[in-house]
Structure 1
Amino acid sequence: MRNATRFQFIQSQHVPGLTVLNAAIDDFCYDRHAHEEYAFGVTLAGRQDFFSGGQYHKSPPGHVIRFNPEEVHDGQPGGEHTLGYSMLYVPTAQVDPLLAEALGRENTSGFRPPGTLIQDTELRGAILELARLVSLETGSCIDQENALYRVVARTAQLGGRYQDEPGIRRPDTLLQRAKAYIHAHLEQDISLDEISQAAHLSKYHFVRLFRRHYGITPHQYVINCRINAARRALSQGATASEVALRFGFADTSHFNRRFKRIYAVTPSQYRRDIAR
């Protein structure tokens, strides 16, 4: 059946920052964007087509999709059937200590789990169990914490690779400086000149390098970061008009349009969902 598009965000009452999205999509396409937290999802029906890591992927029912923090991606329904999926958004503060423990290391620095599209029954079951507990607002704090640990532990068991700090290339370091500058000035009217100077690069070289490295332009990244910060503010009770003014959007309508391209709902709808 067509015209079944709907989105519902539910925030955990037990695990700080943990949010579940249950979605059914016929005709919506996400802009390329990145989240600051980990995202673990399961395609339930239809097919999910998306770009990530320089590649295009197709996720049929039962497959797991995982995005690391700052991993640029988009998404849309593929084929003729309504796309249904559940997605967990989990802050790094919740995942990284569990992941380090599961890996038997002091921290997760340099660790990169393998692949974005995964076919694993155990990981799928753990994600869906945690999504169920949060969506139905059932179970105790320890139930949800245990379900999250199962998700993270299975992620560690599936392996990965390490990128040691000495091996980081100079362009990576320079671009990280630019990103740090952006995050430190989200509530200010910053320019490309200022960002490129923070990276010690010429403006035009910086723009080309940034887009080649991350898959989006610096302008798109700034908007993306402001939207992510706006989402956190909405979660803490701020109104859409307050957030629009705080993060430099021209007006509430402009903020609504930008927010919806990344989170599929308006800021007010998002705030209403998580306030329940």
Structure 2
Amino acid sequence: MANASRFQFIKSQHVPTLTVLQAAIKDFSYDRHAHEEFAFGVTLSGRQDFFSGGQFHKSPPGNVILFNPEEVHDGQPGGKHALDYLMVYAHPDQVKPLFADALGREHATDFRSNQTLIQDAQLRHAILELARLVTSQTGSCIDQENALYRVIERTVQLGGISQPSPVTNRPDTLLRLAKEYIHAHLESDMSLDDICQAAHLSKYHFLRLFRQHYGITPHQYVINCRINAARTALDVGAPLNEVALRFGFADLSHFNRRFKRIYGMTPHQYQRDIAR
């Protein structure tokens, strides 16, 4: 059935980086991927089944789903009924000052929720209200900023880990070097050997360590980062063919397939959505 699944992205007209996804899924499954943003979701109807944080989750209607930045996950409908849900995406740079304020700190801080699947009416209502303001294009800038702050404030109240300067052990440091290399060379034809050398690890050790830490292979991570970078380029109106070639896709058809496995729609459909 051609229209069994529907996806729509709506960007805030007031708050930079704030985007809402409205999705109704019947015959679609996301590949494992990760976003640069915080993702605050609510399951509206049906059941949302997904992998994240090394385990599988089932989210019935009314539950909140929270993904930290770069937290690998997938997703698909569970049970016999279609899945209807929404997600609000906010970039860490946008919300760091809000987390600092909610934590009572003077400076921006890195915050990560320690919960993925949350049953909390207050957080659910805050997310739904923020999504309503963005999707209906109502309210002023201060209305949307205040709604976003209420989401952040409740997230902090529910618990997490906050650290102004993350302390990392040696594997984390080496993997960070690999990720930094990948992000710096998204437009280049990088090899696995190149990434391993940047991380100062043997190929076997690197592959095992990377998958153990992130739940996906380095190749999957590279594709994921290229798709996220391509989405940013699409946001500012870059031509589709140019974006596809810039980020290493063989052609527009290849780009379309990869993009749709993460965002549920083709790059053209996404660019059309956010231009409204």
Same fold (TM over 0.5): yes
Quote the residue 2:268 is aligned against.
268
Structure 2: gaps of 5 or more residues: none
Quote the residue 2:187 is aligned against.
187
Task: Work out whether residues 108 and 164 of structure 2, in 8 Å CA contact, stay in contact via their aligned partners in 1.
Answer: no
SS of the residue 1:179 aligns to: helix
Quote the residue 2:108 is aligned against.
107
Q: Does the C-alpha gap of structure 1 residues 24 and 166 become closer, same or farther in structure 2, counting only changes over 3 Å?
A: closer
SS of the residue 1:58 aligns to: strand
Structure 1: gaps of 5 or more residues: none
2:166 and 2:40 map into 1 onto residues whose CA distance is 30
Number of aligned residues: 275
Q: Percent identity?
A: 76
Quote the residue 1:38 is aligned against.
38
Task: Work out whether residues 2 and 26 of structure 1, in 8 Å CA contact, stay in contact via their aligned partners in 2.
Answer: no
Structure 2 length normalisation: TM-score?
0.96
Give the CA deviation at 1:107.
2.9
Quote the residue 1:83 is aligned against.
83
Give the CA deviation at 1:4.
3.4
Query: Quick check: 1:48 aligned with 2:35?
Result: no
Give the CA deviation at 1:166.
7.5
1:135 and 1:73 map into 2 onto residues whose CA distance is 25
Deviations 1:52-83 (A, max 9, x none): 00010000000000000000000000001110
2:185 and 2:208 map into 1 onto residues whose CA distance is 22
2:63 and 2:225 map into 1 onto residues whose CA distance is 28
2:162 and 2:91 map into 1 onto residues whose CA distance is 21
- Please list, as runs of the form range in 1=range in 2, the aligned pairs for 1:1-276 lying within 5 A after superposition: 4-105=4-105, 106-109=107-110, 111-162=111-162, 167-276=167-276
Bigger mean CA offset, 158-167 vs 6-15: 158-167
Deviations 1:115-136 (A, max 9, x none): 1000111110010011111111
Task: Work out whether residues 5 and 27 of structure 1, in 8 Å CA contact, stay in contact via their aligned partners in 2.
Answer: yes
Structure 1 length normalisation: TM-score?
0.96
1:112 and 1:265 map into 2 onto residues whose CA distance is 29
Deviations 1:25-73 (A, max 9, x none): 0010000000001100000000000000001000000000000000000
